[in-house]
Amino acid sequence: MFIRAVLLFLFSFTLLQAGTAQEGRRIFNPEKFERATKVDDKGLTQWDAHKGDKCPYCNGTGKTKCASCERFEDDAPNCPECKRVKDHMAVCRSCAGTGTFPDPLEKVLCPACDASAMLLCMVCHAGGRLKVGGAKEWSACPSCRAAGGFKCVTCNGTRLVEPAALKPNLKDANVAALDKAMAATEQAMKELGEFTPAGGDKARKEVKALAKALDSAGGTFPPLKRMAKGSEDYMGKIFAGANFQGHAEHEAQAMVMQKEGALQYLKHQKRMLELAKKRAEANAKVAAEQKGK
């Protein structure tokens, strides 16, 4: 029962990463959201001040009911997300615990951990323990050492990461730089979209393929470069469960979660690149018109 409950959580987690708005974890479609601009007295389009709207899912408190241990059995001793604290309250993933939505020009929810600051252990299904063979007693998970998960190295536990690294920055990049970044984004999305892991005997090669796909856009998106390295480390820990039943499925699921998280981040960044390009093109047109006068 415990395993089925956690697998349900993992399935929901994957759907969330794909952009659905279940359980209040996603508050916008990454392909349609807007970032406010304004036109100054010279006719140039500028980014407007970020309002930092209050997160409706935690009502600005930065805390929500833990979505992980809601699915655990009552006797599960640990939850990697809320640590089984009183009332089972965890940091809100929609706002990364800030109470307001971050400025997408400056910060983005971490693609590796979905702003939870940790990666679930797939060997013990995040419970921190398992029964080996026909044992009646629980044993500490050999992979996570009873923690149920691992600290996210992509965001270093901060839940937020930076956007595209352009010159001088995403806010003020010109059309050429934005087009180049867009091409890198679309290529990475294509490679990740074609990645379909099976785990088991193919798992180690698949881990390298995943890391390669993530790293392909690492020059434009530093979080994905860190995620590529972190993915290999994470999967190395998951391989500690290679002798347990169902390990191939668990390995594949762990890679799928990472893939979907990266795709969510890239879809978000593609939209930001589109908005930035729209602004840059408008300003280039104004500059050309003024020069021609």
- The CA distance from 251 to 236, in Å, is 10
Which alpha helices (DSSP H) does the chain contain, by range?
A: 2-17, 175-193, 203-215, 222-238, 247-292
- Nearest-5° Cα angle at 110, 109 to 114: 85
* Residue 19 pLDDT exceeds 60: no
Structure tokens at 165: 């690294």
- The CA distance from 208 to 211, in Å, is 5
Tell me which residue of 208, 233, 264, 262 sits closest to 31, measured CA to CA.
264
- The CA distance from 84 to 90, in Å, is 9
Residue 115: pLDDT band with limits 50, 70, 90: very high
| Helix/strand/coil for 65 | strand
Query: Which are the contacts of 208, defined by CB distance < 8 A and separation ≥ 6?
Result: 232
Residue 4: pLDDT band with limits 50, 70, 90: very low
Residue 72: pLDDT band with limits 50, 70, 90: low
Task: Give the mean model confidence (pLDDT) for residues 107-116.
Answer: 94
Tell me which residue of 275, 279, 256, 264 sits closest to 30, measured CA to CA.
264
User: What residues pair up with 129 in beta bridges, in sequence order?
Assistant: 140
| Helix/strand/coil for 218 | coil
| Helix/strand/coil for 248 | helix
What's the mean per-residue pLDDT of the chain?
Answer: 86
Interval 209-227: pLDDT, tens: 999 999 999 999 999 999 9
Confidence (pTM): 0.87
Beta strand pairing call for 108-109 and 160-161: antiparallel
Query: Which are the contacts of 255, defined by CB distance < 8 A and separation ≥ 6?
Result: 195, 197, 199, 203, 206, 207, 210, 231, 235
Say if CB 230 and CB 211 are below 8 A apart.
no
